[in-house]
Amino acid sequence: MKTIQRLLTVAVGALALATPAAMGAGEYYEPAEHTWSWEGPFGSYDRGELQRGFLVYQQVCSACHGMEQLHIRNLGEQGGPFYTEEYPNPNDNPIVRAIAAEYFIEDGPDEYGDMFERAGRPADRFPSPYANDAQAAASNGGAIPPDFSVIVKARHHGPEYIRSLMLGYDYEVPDDIDVGVGQYYNPYMPGKLIAMPPQLQDGLVEYADGTEATKEQMAHDVVTFLTWASEPHMEQRKKMGLMVMIYLLALAGLLYAAYRQVWSNVKH
Ligand code: HEC
């Protein structure tokens, strides 16, 4: 009884917490529904989407958004965009090495106590584009572009929200909204004003696999990539879950058989 009471208290508390968000939902648009390859218990990431999404991140978003929890070698790990069986160790993967080499990483101090810059290596983390938050804010009209390491998890309905946000700049500004300097109207953003300029336009990047780089395609791909970045081990987790289910089913069968066996000689 005590437990039930406690559970009820927690449930009521959770409802109370959820209410302001639900009330505020009227202020900005619900993100549009969208279908993703990784949804459902058997869903997995599409390698092509991951690779194209990384390209969009690298060529567009990384100018302002870092991804500091991720190491460059993660790109070549199992489940990652550039994993191949040929290079089980991502540090040997030439694509990952080439990507790493394009980054400048601050290292040091050297023997004279000075910091220096060197080309990136697979073991490095994705560097932040700014030295610190103050510099990030100064470069973006006071707003700080959030780090992308777990952005999909950090936002409600992350994938749908980010996709809608990226495509949400074409709405007409209502009369009662005052768009300040360095602000843009985007009804998916809580408050409907965002300091990030529109990022996507058709043909902005050139995909190596020949896929047409429409706005919608780039938004889909970059969100797929960011979802992977937030949860790189999702595929392994799902596989593991499936194995556990099979194991539990087999165990249940065995237990049932044992139960029949044990009680078979007992008269009812
Ligand atoms: C020119 C710099 C710049 C670039 C390039 C850029 N952003 Fe942003 N982004 C910002 C700033 C600044 C903010 C913070 C906006 C705010 O708080 O009003 C932001 C915020 C965001 C947010 C968080 C919104 C929220 O709910 O708080 C997402 C998601 C995002 N950007 C996605 C992207 C994606 C995806 C790309 C690449 C396609 C990208 N950004 C490229 C500057 C940039």
The predicted pLDDT at position 266 comes to 78
The predicted pLDDT at position 21 comes to 43
The predicted pLDDT at position 232 comes to 87
Q: Is 127 in the pocket of ligand 1 (CB under 6 A)?
A: no
The predicted pLDDT at position 8 comes to 55
Q: Please tell me the distance from the alpha carbon of residue 231 to that of residue 158, in angstroms, as a whole number.
A: 12
The predicted pLDDT at position 163 comes to 97
The alpha-carbon radius of gyration of the chain (Å, integer) is 24
CB atoms within 10 A of CB 159: 20
Burial grade of 207 (CB within 10 A; 0-12, 13-18, 19 or more):
middle
The predicted pLDDT at position 139 comes to 93
Q: What is the pLDDT of residues 240-263, one digit of tens each?
A: 888 999 999 999 999 999 999 888
Confidence of residue 62 (pLDDT cuts 50, 70, 90): very high
Nearest to 105 by CA among 87, 125, 88: 125
Q: Is 182 in the pocket of ligand 1 (CB under 6 A)?
A: no
- Mean of pLDDT values over 224-253: 91
Q: What is the pLDDT of residues 185-205, one digit of tens each?
A: 999 999 999 999 999 999 999
Q: Please tell me the distance from the alpha carbon of residue 45 to that of residue 220, in angstroms, as a whole number.
A: 12
The predicted pLDDT at position 17 comes to 47
Q: What is the pLDDT of residues 71-100, one digit of tens each?
A: 999 999 999 999 999 999 999 999 999 999
Nearest to 100 by CA among 163, 41, 58: 58
DSSP three-state, residue 25: coil
Percent of the chain with pLDDT over 70: 90
Contact 124, 204 (CB under 8 A): no
59 phi, psi to nearest 5 deg = -85, -25
Contact 119, 104 (CB under 8 A): yes
Helix (H) or strand (E) holding 126: strand 125-126
Which residue puts its alpha carbon closest to atom 26 of ligand 1? 189
One-letter amino acid at 84 equals: T
The predicted pLDDT at position 22 comes to 40
Which is more confidently placed, 265 or 94? 94
- Mean of pLDDT values over 219-234: 94
Confidence of residue 213 (pLDDT cuts 50, 70, 90): very high
Q: Please tell me the distance from the alpha carbon of residue 100 to that of residue 75, in angstroms, as a whole number.
A: 10
Average pLDDT, the chain: 89
The predicted pLDDT at position 172 comes to 92
Contact 74, 123 (CB under 8 A): no
Confidence of residue 267 (pLDDT cuts 50, 70, 90): confident
**Which atom of ligand 1 has the smallest separation from the CA of 195?**
18
Nearest to 55 by CA among 84, 94, 95: 95
**Which atom of ligand 1 has the smallest separation from the CA of 162?**
29
Q: Please tell me the distance from the alpha carbon of residue 78 to that of residue 81, in angstroms, as a whole number.
A: 9
One-letter amino acid at 237 equals: R
- Which pTM value belongs to this model? 0.84
Burial 99-136 (b: 16+ CB within 10 A, else e): bbeebebeeeeeeeeeeeeeebbbebbbbbebeeeeeb
Q: What is the pLDDT of residues 20-46, one digit of tens each?
A: 444 344 478 999 999 999 998 888 999
Query: How remote is the CA of residue 190 from the centroid of ligand 1, in Å?
Result: 13
Pocket test for ligand 1, best of 62, 65, 193 (most atoms within 8 A of CB): 65
